[in-house]
Each structure stands twice: as C-alpha cells, then as structure tokens.
Amino acid sequence: MSKGVKSIFIATLLFAGMNVFVKLLSNLPVYELTLFRSIFTTLICFIIIKRKRISWLGSRRPVLFLRGTLGAISLILFFKSVQALPLATATLVHYITPFFTTFFGFLFLGERLNKIQWVFLVICFTGIALTQSSNSNLLELNASNVGLLAGLCGCVAAAGAYNCIRYIGASEDPNVVLIHFSIITIPISLVLLCIYGGFQWPTCLEWGYIVCMGILTQAAQYYMTLAYQNEEVGTIAIFTNMGIIYAIINGIIFFDEIPSKIACLGIGIVITGLLFNVFYDKGRNFFGSRFNKTLS
C-alpha cells in the first residue's frame, strides 16, 4: 500500500468522526464552528511549523491563498449541509467532488477528461435526487433543499482546492498548506458571523465536542493533503468512497437516521456511479500505460 493510499484511508476515517461532532453541534451557527475549528488548526500548525523550522509563508503564495479561499468556502458550505441534511445524504453529496476535481484538472492542469464520465455524474445526481426525495420535496424551497444546494456548491469549491494542492505537489509542507487554509477561514467566518449574528457561548459538553472536532479535522486535513500530494486523484477516490458507508453507520448509531428503501436505492445508485468513474479511470490509466509501453 502506497503512502498516498494509507494517508487517504486514515483521512476518511477521521473525517467520518469529525462529521459526527459537526452534526452534534447543529444548534451552534456554522460560522462559529468554522471559526473555532480554524483557530484550533492555526495554533496546531503554527507549533508544528515552528518545530520544523520552516517558513509558514510558503513559496507558492498565490496558489496557497487561492487554495485557502476555496477551502474556506467549501468548509462553510459542507458544515451547512451536514447540519441541514441526514449525515448519509450530506456525505453522498460531498463524495461527487471527484467529478468536479477531474473537470477542473482538465481545464487548468491539462489532465484527461472523457465524455463518459459525465454519464457517471448523471448517475450520481440521479441517486442523490432519489435519496433527497425521501427527506424532502425537491420542488420546495426549504432548509433541507438549501442544505443540498450548499453541499453541491461546496463540492465545486472543494474540487478547486484539491486541484490547487495537486498543482503545489510536494513542494510545500502539508502544514504550510493547512495554515493558509485556516488563516483565511478565520476572517471569513468572523465577517459572516458579524453579518448574520447568532453567536452562542458553548456549554461544557459542546466545548468538548468542539475540541474533538478540531483534533479530528486537523488530523484528517493533514492526511488528506498528504494523500493528494503523493497519489493520483483516481486512486484516492476508491478509498474516499468508504466515507459513505461510515456516514450511514454513524447516522444510524448516533442520530437514528435509518435510510428508507428509496434512500437506500439512491445511495446504491450514487455508489455505483462513483465506482464506475473510479474503475474507468483506473482501467484507462492501466491500458494506456500498457499501450504506451508496447509502442516504445
């Protein structure tokens, strides 16, 4: 097992745990959670960077700034979707990010894109629509559907952030990438919290949840960054899909979110579309490399 695969496997487990604590903190404003999370991450990264005696500024500052901005937008929207949707549904939406990642990779990094992958995306959207139909009327403007829209927009922002990481490669320490993410998220969260208000001082139990969320998020982001720096996106996607299974299990255990038959069908369709895309990518890379070797 490669370093990138090990890293994404660990990251997926940690993110699943983080989502549980975000859901448990649903009575607190999203911007408050992203603020606390980012302060925690900044402090941890700063300590690690100081110990490593490296510069937190990095060498690719414009790309780091862009990655941080897109990451902040993605984080806020994802937290919104987790609070508004059943955990399994919010996770399903988040896991179509690789399609947008591939598309942006095609536009900005010169990576390959095949039309059949749009078919797989349509399959995933069909599954998401079925899953969401068991939660809410898709034609109504309500909190659940707003959460779904937030999740989809968060996917687009996350895809842009992941391509920034791929562009940076291993030229930056993961903690340098993370500290830019958190430093940019702090003022954005503060501004939005001032605009929309609703700040609540957490209880002792909620502070415990926030600390657990911060620790899991810090560790998950570190391993996720490490994975994208050391492995191809297609390979990573195989293991990130396990997060859907973790979300279903956590939703049942912690929130009594037992999926209906229609939701189970939708979840199955999304997983099918994701796997089609992953194995199509893997097969194309495998046979393409074999064909190139034959020619040479």
pTM for this predicted structure: 0.81
Closest CA to 74 of 37, 123, 124, 111: 37
For 151, the token pair is 């999740």
Residue 121 has what pLDDT?
Answer: 84
**Dist. CA 174–CA 221, nearest whole Å:** 9
Neighbours of 259 (CB within 10 A): 19
**Burial call 213-222: b when 16+ CB within 10 Å, e when fewer:** bbbbbbbbbb
Residue 197 has what pLDDT?
Answer: 80
Distance of CA 212 to the CA centre of its chain: 18
User: What is the distance in angstroms between the CA of the first residue and the CA of the last residue of the chain?
Assistant: 28
**Dist. CA 116–CA 127, nearest whole Å:** 17
Residue 110 has what pLDDT?
Answer: 74
Q: State the amino acid at position 73 in one-letter form.
A: I
Closest CA to 100 of 157, 40, 17: 157
Close Cβ partners of 255 (under 8 Å, ≥ 6 residues apart): 23, 86, 87
| 180, 65 contact by CB (below 8 A) | yes
| 71, 99 contact by CB (below 8 A) | no
pLDDT tens, N- to C-terminus, the chain (296 residues): 677 778 888 888 898 999 999 999 999 999 999 999 899 889 988 998 999 888 888 777 889 999 999 999 999 999 999 999 999 899 888 888 878 887 887 777 777 767 787 888 889 889 989 898 887 777 777 888 899 999 999 999 998 998 888 888 777 888 888 889 999 999 999 999 999 888 899 999 999 999 999 889 878 878 877 887 777 666 666 677 778 888 888 999 999 998 888 989 999 998 898 888 777 766 665 444 443 444 33
Residue 234 has what pLDDT?
Answer: 60
Residue 282 has what pLDDT?
Answer: 64
Q: State the amino acid at position 30 in one-letter form.
A: V
| 206, 28 contact by CB (below 8 A) | yes
Neighbours of 196 (CB within 10 A): 11
Question: CB-side exposure of 136: number of CA atoms within 13 Å?
Answer: 18
**Dist. CA 39–CA 33, nearest whole Å:** 10
Residues in the chain: 296
Residue 150 has what pLDDT?
Answer: 94
